[in-house]
């Protein structure tokens, strides 16, 4: 059973998400929070698998709450998915850098929300790939100059190649087709790359791909 915490200051949004999620046989809403401080307390108390976190909330915003969650070693198993009203929200790229596993727009289709919750638990796919690619390209262009590639020194050539493909938003299946390998082999390369770089999940791997200069804005395929 996947346990989800809903953190949003709008009760109607929480009610809609709760009805959808609780109707699934493999998902349950473990708790709700109306602001970031309450969300942080509920995460520590309930240890959910996934937090659906609104970016803009009173008391403590979603970005600050996410950073506190991902910085807490005791909460390493908790995945945070940011919720935003607009596809290109100025805080989302920063949220992913802070440790969020991905993001969704609030008016996403129900099937996409369910797929996203399940996917983030598996750590197997970036959320809302089309939107994610546009957003990361937008904000990578504004971010600092790429760091030296020394951080990638431990990677093999194939791992660097796989990381670049993750960076442009490809799934394991798409990577497998591109490299003519099995999806399991692609997944293994991705997992090893994450371990070597200390990346929390694929979203962090994407950020590292941009920040290292391995992928640059405009390379989206």
Q: What is the pLDDT of residue 152?
A: 84
In angstroms, the CA 44 to CA 153 distance is 36
Q: Which of 61-65, 86-90, 160-164, 188-192 has the lowest mean pLDDT?
A: 86-90
Q: What is the pLDDT of residue 90?
A: 63
Q: Is residue 219's pLDDT more than 50?
A: no
In angstroms, the CA 13 to CA 84 distance is 12
- For residues 176 and 183, the answer to whether their CB atoms sit within 8 Å is yes
pLDDT in tens, 139-156: 556 555 555 456 688 899
**Model-wide pTM > 0.75:** no
């Amino acid at each position: 059973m996947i346990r989800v915490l809903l953190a949003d200051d709008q009760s109607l949004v929480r009610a809609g998400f709760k009805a959808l999620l609780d109707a699934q046989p493999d998902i349950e809403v473990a708790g709700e929070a109306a602001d970031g401080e309450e969300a942080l307390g509920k995460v520590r108390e309930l240890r959910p698998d996934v937090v659906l976190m609104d970016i803009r909330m009173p008391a403590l915003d979603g970005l600050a709450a996410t950073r506190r969650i991902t910085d807490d070693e005791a909460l390493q198993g908790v995945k945070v998915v940011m919720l935003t009203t607009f596809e290109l929200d100025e805080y989302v790229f920063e949220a992913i850098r802070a440790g969020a596993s991905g993001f969704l727009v609030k008016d996403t289709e129900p099937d996409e929300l369910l797929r996203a919750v399940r996917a983030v638990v598996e750590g197997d796919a970036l959320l809302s790939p089309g939107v994610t690619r546009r957003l990361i390209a937008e904000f990578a262009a504004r971010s600092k100059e790429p760091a030296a590639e020394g951080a990638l020194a431990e990677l093999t050539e194939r791992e660097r190649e796989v990381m670049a493909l993750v960076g442009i938003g490809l799934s394991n299946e798409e990577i497998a087709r591109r490299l003519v390998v099995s999806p399991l082999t692609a997944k293994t390369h991705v997992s090893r790359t994450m371990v070597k770089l200390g990346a929390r999940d694929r979203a962090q791997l994407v950020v590292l791909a941009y920040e290292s200069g391995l992928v640059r804005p405009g390379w989206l395929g």
